[in-house]
Amino acid sequence: MLTLTGALLDPLLRDNPAGPRITYYDDATGERVELSTATLANWAAKTANLLRDELGAGPGTRVGVLLPAHWQTAAVLLGIWWIGAEAVLDSSDDVTFCTRDRLDDAGMGEVAVLSLDAFGKGYDDLPVGVTDYATAVRVHGDQVVPERNPGPALEGRSVDDVLDEARSELSATDRVWSSLGWSTAPELIANLVAVFAAGASLVQVAHPDATLRERRMATEKVTQSLDLFSGH
C-alpha cells in the first residue's frame, strides 16, 4: 500500500525530478526559495528519518503541525506521510512540529521547533527537551524506506480519502499561484496536496504584495491561481 507521499512524489520523481515543485516567496522579507522535486523529497526523507529514528514516530502516531504555509512545512508533511503517520493541524501528545511562537500550544509529547529560516539557521536556546529541527534534520539520511502499512494520513482520512478529495482540474503542466493557507484539512488538501497530486508545481506566496503580483506571475509563468478560485 502506497503512503500518501509515495502517491504524490513517486510519479514526479520518475518523470520530472529536476523540475521546480515548490517556489516560496515571502514578500515581507524578499525571500525566494525554489525546490525541485528531488530536493523536496530529500528534505522529506530527512524529516521522515528524524521522526522515525529520533522522535519515535510511525503508523498510528499523531503528529501535530502548527506551521504556516511554507516550503519547510511541505517537507514536514511529506515526511510524516512517508512513515505512515497521521498529520493533525493542531497540537498532539505524540509529536508536534511548531514555530517558536507556538511552543505554548504544543502537546505533552515530543516537540520540534522550526525557525523557517531561509538559510537553515536554527535556535540554540530552546527549552530542555525541545528539538531544534534545523539542527536535528541535517544529520539524517536523505533516503527513506516508506512505511508499507500506513495509518490514517490527515485528521482521520486515509490515503485514498485524501487523494479522492484532492482531485481537481489542474494538470501536470500547470504552474499554480497561491497565497492561501494550509491551516485546516480541506485547505491543506485543496491548496497543497491537489497541486502535487495533479503533477503541477506550486508558487506559494506569504505576505503577498499586490504591486508585485502581475509581474511575478509572468516571471514564474503561472497558469492557474488558487487565489482566484477562492475570491482572494
pLDDT in tens, 215-227: 999 999 999 999 9
In this prediction, residue 119 carries a pLDDT of 87
Instruction: Find the domain containing 39 and state its range.
Output: 4-230
Q: What is the CATH number of the domain that holds 85?
A: 3.40.50.12780
Q: What is the pLDDT of residue 231?
A: 53
Q: Work out the average pLDDT over 59-79.
A: 98
Q: What is the pTM of this model?
A: 0.97
Q: Where are the alpha helices (DSSP H) in the chain?
A: 4-15, 37-49, 71-82, 133-138, 159-165, 185-188, 194-197, 210-219, 226-230
**Number of domains forming the structure of the chain:** 1
3-state secondary structure of 170: coil
Please say if the pLDDT value at position 232 is more than 60.
no
Q: Answer whether residue 76 shows pLDDT above 90.
A: yes
